[in-house]
A and B are shown apart, each in its own frame.
Chain A
């Protein structure tokens, strides 16, 4: 009980006592305050720093993909608009469904010769060697895959709704390095869907892709009828 520094503190306290009204029990108030605050701060650390670290697993993509190079004005995919360029690889099938991350066949359309690379990066050579040459699919992690219960029609948004890709995907299409894939251990959601900003504040449309965000946009753009449950749920 009797620790030296506490004694020291006691001396300090007693000197302080001169300045406070006599009915205020300074010692017990301060000690109570100290422990309350300690608990409070510890909780903040746990909640804001430790918890997210534990919650998300990190998986690097099997190989880097440079989006910027592929849509480069000079050397990249040709196209009048950005959307058109995106759609070159992330295409629509005939039935209107969205192909998502392209299969290796799509890559081979351009990178047809495993021996000769188009660019000069080491990554491309590696890609040609490991995947193109063997016609092996790259096991990409998808940052934007919605859970199984969600039906999302890209064509309705891109072709009919004239939405730009960045509205939901941000500047992913201009990135030179694809980020590490972070997955929520509990839900299996990618951090890009919900988790980038734990505070819940959202500054960009692509910060979060939960149901409320979809609905918010539908409402804003006058498509409230698309907030009917079955439009997005299956």
Chain B
């Protein structure tokens, strides 16, 4: 983490409480609406549909009536530099045209559509499948007039480029603008949250500066129930999950037999 004028830089991150998450999909809808994500006729083609935050349904694999489903909402993990080997996020280090970068001042991994040449190397590098390629041009047919709801905060993408969750970076810029208008340089915790955080009707998502002890996320990631996806790959995601359920936690990483440590005595 970079020191910036004597104080620790910001590191925006997200905590998602999986026990609270109900799999309703509001985060996905809010995200798509906020970020001008194109909707195509066939969104069931999950290999090609674009969902910056995606809900993965998981199951405990037991027989009826002991089956349980749960969900992993998966935004971009905004992986960090690795303290050990000095990796950049796996996608950043491979990008040929510097179209995706880690901003050391916010911890946010950017994706610049107008810079991207569409080689998809970053997609290959991302173990979370958080990166989406525009296989088609944005679908806003004139006769539908659907382009009328597009927000000017996020530029619609052309085909042939990668897009992904930006932690609603434009909301940070919006909050900063507001602060500047009020003569402040710094923004408050609540002024910058992502669209999914705001939309989640069960308040399962918390967003803030992981480095700032006053922010709620800072406290949440200390909990014993906090964990990250594929932690052992050492990509250092800035998205944390909370769950008390062992079967859910076990699905967060590839564990070898006997390796998984249970949190509770029950299943």
Contact = CB atoms under 8 A, between A and B. Distances in A.
A153 B175 CA distance: 12
A148 B110 contact: no
Interface stretch (B66-74, B101-109, B117-125): B101-109
Given A97-B177, A156-B177, A229-B101, A151 B170 contact: yes
Contacts of B183: 159
B192 interface: no
Contacts, number: 74
B230 interface: no
Contact of B166 (A93, A153, A159, A230): A230
Interface in A113-166: 147-149, 151, 153, 155-156, 159-160
Contacts of B139: none
A233 B115 CA distance: 10
A92 interface: yes
Contacts of A92: 181
Nearest to B114: A149
Contacts of B103: 228-231
A93 B152 CA distance: 16
Interface in B147-182: 152-156, 166, 169-170, 173-174, 176-182
A149 B155 contact: yes
B154 A234 contact: yes
Contacts of B174: 95
Contact of B181 (A95, A151, A230): A95
A231 B154 CA distance: 13
A159 B134 CA distance: 38
Given A149-B113, A225-B105, A229-B103, A160 B185 contact: yes
A228 B101 contact: yes
Given A225-B4, A230-B110, A153 B155 contact: no
A147 B113 CA distance: 13
Contacts of B126: none
A96 interface: yes
Contacts of A233: 110, 112, 114-115, 155
A109 interface: no
Main secondary structure of the interface of B (DSSP, over half): loop
Interface string B77-118: 000000000000000000000010101111010101111000
Most buried by B among A94, A151, A229: A229
Contacts of B155: 148-149, 233-234
Contacts of A160: 180, 185
A168 B7 CA distance: 32
B180 A155 contact: yes
Given A151-B170, A225-B4, A234-B153, A96 B110 contact: no
Interface string A69-92: 000000000000000000000001
A95 B114 contact: no
A229 B105 contact: no
Contacts of A94: 181
Contacts of B106: 228, 230
A146 to B, nearest CB: 11
B181 A234 contact: no
A192 B150 CA distance: 27
B112 A153 contact: no
Nearest to B179: A96
Given A149-B112, A153-B173, A159-B181, 9 more contacts: A96-B177, A148-B152, A149-B114, A153-B176, A225-B4, A228-B106, A228-B110, A229-B99, A234-B173
Interface of A: 92-97, 147-149, 151, 153, 155-156, 159-160, 225, 228-231, 233-234
5 contacts: A92-B181, A96-B177, A230-B103, A230-B106, A234-B170
